Amino acid sequence: MSDQADALRHLFAAKAQDESVPDRDMPERDDSIGWTLQADLTRDDAEPRDRTIDEPAPPTPEPKPTRVLSLISGKGGAGTSVMSHNLAVSLARKGDCVVLVDADYGLGQLEILCDRRPTVDLEDVLAGRIAPEDALVEGPEGIRLLAGSHAARMNEAWLVGPATDELVAQVVGELREKQVADWILVDVGSGLTVRSQTLACASDAMVVVTTPEQASIAASHALFSHLRRAAGSHLKLVTLVNKASSHRAGHEAADRLIQAARLFQGLSVGFLGTVRDDLDVPRAVRNRMAVVQAPGWWLSTAARDIERVSSLVRLDFEKWATAASEMAIPGVNVLGTAAADLITDSIRSQRKAG
């Protein structure tokens, strides 16, 4: 019996040892996995189970269209380059992406105002050596500049002529199609040129920069007809009075020009604003910077006026080109035929002198 009992004890001991060894074919249980899943299901930000797969995604905002704004003057000295430079910097300081194009080839000077020395310019683009977007260089406040070609650097004789004017408009159109910026500001220069007509067709609006001088107003009056004849009635035409002694003087000059364009040509011309004459502007030009970014710019009357103009362009683009007949100029009475007579006398005197 003792031998049988010992055998039974050895049998039970062996069985207990076998049960203590884990089964190698079964994975070990990980209780942490179960707790993790439970924690995920009870979290407040857990995704609900009843969410439908076909639920539409929120609509993505449409990209902002690129606007082309060209600045031109009837005669030289009105300040289109300075205005283009300062408006571009002012818009960039407000958070917009801006490309500045110097279309006054042969007399390009925006690179000097921006204090840049680009290795490529508009001539390289027109000659096909580089794409327009690849010729853009970094400028002040993050603007990008397509420098104009200077006559001293122009090698190809074909770059001067009507064909070149068409190419410049194609370059601006290509930059618009590729949506390289929110705004494309084009410095057209001055005069009744083919270039101004081709760029009018490629622009959303033409800003005619003038001064209160009678000769400048008469030249701007002729420029309106020149531009509208090429671009048609869809083109927005506005005037910006520069170098005015006061806001009232600028408003009066704009009113004379607007009324003459409506009476003689049947044109609706908008009024963008007045930039007062300020010694800080030539000082900023000498320092190769925009007056709106100069130290203490808020003390400059011209800088404050330019900031006001850029805000109007940026926030209310569709309305700032309202027809002159629907726009009230504060503090200025409609001059009517008296303004037209002034324009007529000025044009007649210039014809006699010529």
Phi, psi of 238 (to 5 degrees): -135, 160
Residue 41, domain member (yes or no): no
Q: What's the helix, strand, coil split of the chain in %, to 5?
A: 50, 15, 35
Q: What's the token pair of residue 124?
A: 């390289």
Q: How far apart are CA 251 and CA 30, in angstroms?
A: 83
Supply the DSSP string of 31-51, one letter for each residue.
HHHHHHHHHHHH-TTSPPTT-
What local confidence, expressed as pLDDT, does residue 232 receive? Answer: 63
Report whether pLDDT(58) > 80. no
Side-chain-side CA neighbours of 80 within 13 Å: the count stands at: 32
Question: Are the beta carbons of 67 and 150 closer than 8 angstroms?
Answer: no
From residue 64, how far is each of 175, 176, 180 by CA, in Å?
14, 12, 11
Query: According to the model, what pLDDT value does residue 332 have?
Result: 35
pLDDT at position 312 over 50: yes
Residue 92 resides in a domain: yes
In a domain, 13, yes or no: no
Asked if pLDDT for residue 27 goes beyond 60, the answer is no
Q: Which residue has the tokens 């400048």?
A: 216
Tell whether the model's pLDDT for residue 80 goes beyond 60: yes
Say yes or no to pLDDT of 86 above 90.
yes
Lowest mean pLDDT among 88-102, 238-252, 328-342: 328-342
CA dihedral of residues 154, 123, 146, 275 (deg, nearest 10) = 50
Q: What is the pLDDT of residues 131-171, one digit of tens each?
A: 999 999 999 999 999 998 766 666 655 556 667 788 888 99
What's the domain range around 280? 67-353
At residue 282 the predicted structure's pLDDT band, cuts being 50, 70 and 90, is very high
3-class DSSP state for residue 175? helix
Q: Report the pLDDT averaged over residues 181-208.
A: 89
CATH of the domain at 333: 3.40.50.300
Give yes or no for residue 263 having a pLDDT over 90.
no
Q: Supply the pLDDT for residue 189.
A: 87
Flag whether 35 is in a domain.
no
Highest mean pLDDT: which range of 62-66, 120-124, 159-163: 120-124
Q: Would 216 be classed as within a structural domain?
A: yes
Which residues have C-beta within 8 Å of that of residue 22, sequence separation ≥ 6? Answer: 28
What band does 56 get if pLDDT is binned at 50, 70 and 90? low
Distances (CA, A) of 152 to 19, 148, 155, 321: 99, 12, 8, 38
Contact 212, 245 (CB under 8 A): yes
Q: What is the pLDDT of residue 265?
A: 81
* Residue 5 located in a structural domain: no
State how far the Cα of 308 lies from the Cα of 323, in Å rounded to an integer.
20
Q: What percent of the chain has pLDDT over 70?
A: 66
What total number of domains does the chain contain? 1
Strand partners, 101: 146, 186
Residue with the bigger pLDDT between 270 and 232: it is 270
Per-residue confidence band for 352, with pLDDT thresholds at 50, 70 and 90: low
E strand or H helix that includes residue 313: helix 301-315
What's the mean pLDDT when you consider all of the chain?
76
CB-CB contact of 274 with 281 (8 Å): no
pLDDT in the model for residue 349: 53
Write the DSSP string, 179-197: T--SEEEEEEEESS-HHHH
Cβ neighbours around 228 below 10 Å, total: 21
Residue 24 pLDDT > 60:
no
Contact predicate 96/314, CB 8 Å: yes
192 in any annotated domain: yes
Confirm whether 95 is domain-assigned: yes
